Amino acid sequence: DPLDRDRLFGSNLALVGLVLSLPLSACIGFATDVVRSRRLLISATVLAGGLSTLWTGLATTYNELLICRFIQCAAMSGSVPCVFSLMSDWYSENERNAASSVFQAAMGAGILIGQCYSGFTTNLGWRHPFLVSGFATVVSSFLVLAFVTDPVRGGREGALNDMLSEGVEYNKRPTWKTCLASVQSNASNRLLILQGLFSSIPYGAMFVFFNDVLSSNKGLTVQDATFVVAVFGIGSAVGGIMGGVFGTMATRAGRHILPIFMSLSTILGLIPFLALLNDDSYDSASWKPCSFAFVGGFFSSLPAVNVRPCIINVNTPELRGVQLTVANIVINLARGVGPWVLTDVMIDALGQNRVTGFELLLLMFWSAAALVLAMLAKTLPTDQKKVEAILSSYALENTPLKAADSHTVDSSGEVSGEGSFVDESRSWYSIDR
Cα–Cα distance list, 20 to 196, 299, 330 (Å):
18, 31, 12
The span from the CA of 22 to the CA of 329, in Å, is 6
Under a CB-based contact definition with an 8 Å cutoff, are residues 336 and 343 in contact?
A: no
Q: What is the pLDDT of residues 236-279, one digit of tens each?
A: 888 888 998 899 899 889 889 999 999 999 999 999 989 988 88
Are 95 and 102 in contact, with CB atoms under 8 Å apart? Answer: no
Could you read off the pLDDT of 125-137 as tens digits, one per residue?
Answer: 889 999 999 999 9
d(CA 158, CA 297): 35
Give the pLDDT confidence score for residue 184 in this predicted structure. 77
* pTM for this entry: 0.76
Q: Is 390 a residue whose pLDDT tops 70?
A: yes
403 has which bridge partners?
421
Kindly state the DSSP code that residue 21 receives in the 8-state scheme: T
- E strand or H helix at 245, and its extent? helix 222-253
Residue 366's nearest CA partner among 179, 199, 139, 188 is 199
* Highest-pLDDT range among 266-275, 329-338, 389-398, 401-410: 266-275
**What is the tens place of the pLDDT at every residue in 92-134?**
888 888 888 888 878 877 877 887 788 778 788 889 999 999 9
On the question of pLDDT at 52 being above 80, the answer is yes
- pLDDT, tens only, 302-340: 998 899 999 999 998 888 888 888 888 888 788 878 888
Distance of alpha carbon 332 from the chain centroid = 10
When the pLDDT of each residue in the chain is averaged and rounded to a whole number, the result is: 83
Kindly write down the DSSP assignment for every residue of 91-108, as one continuous string.
S-HHHHHHHHHHHHHHHH
For residues 234 and 21, give the distance between their C-alpha atoms in angstroms, rounded to a whole number.
29
pLDDT of residue 216: 79
